[in-house]
Chain A
């Protein structure tokens, strides 16, 4: 096998089947995995904005006692703040584009770093935001006007039996752990394979 012959044969190949378009707009829509990740993240961001808006509107449809309503809005406000901070961070990631003029190793390392960082921010934001949701749901159920207001006040001031407190704490912890596990599984399932692929390529580059 002579590499010089191979080179000559490669250069003399007929390339008529590959045509350069007259305009960039004629190119097909990009299929890069990273673009798919960005599209997924964008869709999830929009979903979260809609959920937050719905949560703010919910007390308009449910009659709640004033204390419950106040606590409800405080919790939703905190959840929204966490989401907005995360939105800003994710937005900066979406706008960032790796410079493909750099060496392959540099592009690999930068892409992996950006991707891992973004997914960690994503996980943290989803988990911390979601941890408040069981409390929000609890207030929506227990804070309705039709339910005795004093019963609600007794719960939030811990003026209830020790067994009930333990019951609520265990219920909350189980929900929190479930949210943590599901979020991690979801993110790893969606994006983990791509990260593993990049790590394998980087490993082979070093070898």
Chain B
């Protein structure tokens, strides 16, 4: 059964955190994030017929979103006067926790020093995907995924330590 545009957008809205996280992981500038955010929605819509329900909708969304960010998307223009990451954070919610939000900002900042593949791997890992699922999403063997995951976790901790973000 073909999904309608409205049904699709409702479903995307329910899982928009996935697109948000991928966009934020790959770009620090709000304009770039916004561009990637929109591009992912467009690619999801173009690929929606390929979702057969064999996997979870969220897993399928991750695949399309990561493929868009890794394979196809590239920053299009150079920004003048780059703003620091923490200055570009979204407006704080009512239950705003300044310390935790800063920590998350540092974490994203550290993650942006990783290459495109490692970003994807660590995001899937944090989201609780199993080694098998990560391997399937990236197209790697499970052994390779396990080795890479350990290496990236170590690398990320090193970056956080070196940059003085320890938390």
Contact = CB atoms under 8 A, between A and B. Distances in A.
Contact of A104 (B13, B51, B138): B138
A61 interface: no
Contacts, number: 149
A9 B67 contact: no
Nearest to B156: A1
B101 to A, nearest CB: 8
Interface in B54-93: 60, 63-64, 66-68, 70-74, 76, 90-93
Interface in B132-167: 136-140, 153, 156-157, 160, 166-167
A102 B54 CA distance: 13
Interface in A78-108: 97-108
Contact of A13 (B104, B125, B139): B104
B2 interface: no
B122 to A, nearest CB: 9
Contacts of B63: 100-104
A198 interface: yes
A18 B37 contact: yes
Contacts of A6: 104, 107, 126
Interface string A7-27: 101110111111011111001
A201 B117 contact: yes
A23 to B, nearest CB: 7
Given A100-B64, A201-B70, A106 B90 contact: no
17 contacts: A7-B126, A7-B128, A14-B92, A17-B91, A20-B12, A33-B73, A100-B43, A100-B71, A101-B47, A101-B51, A103-B138, A103-B139, A104-B63, A105-B139, A107-B67, A197-B74, A201-B115
Interface of B: 5, 9, 12-13, 16-17, 19-21, 23, 30, 33-35, 37-39, 41-43, 45-47, 50-51, 60, 63-64, 66-68, 70-74, 76, 90-93, 100-101, 103-104, 107, 115-118, 120, 125-128, 136-140, 153, 156-157, 160, 166-167
Given A34-B72, A102-B63, A103-B136, 18 more contacts: A3-B153, A13-B90, A16-B90, A17-B91, A20-B16, A24-B42, A30-B39, A31-B73, A32-B39, A103-B139, A104-B63, A104-B70, A104-B137, A105-B138, A111-B71, A194-B74, A197-B74, A201-B70
Q: Closest 9 interchain pairs by CB? A: A105-B139, A103-B139, A101-B50, A14-B93, A100-B67, A32-B72, A20-B13, A100-B64, A9-B104
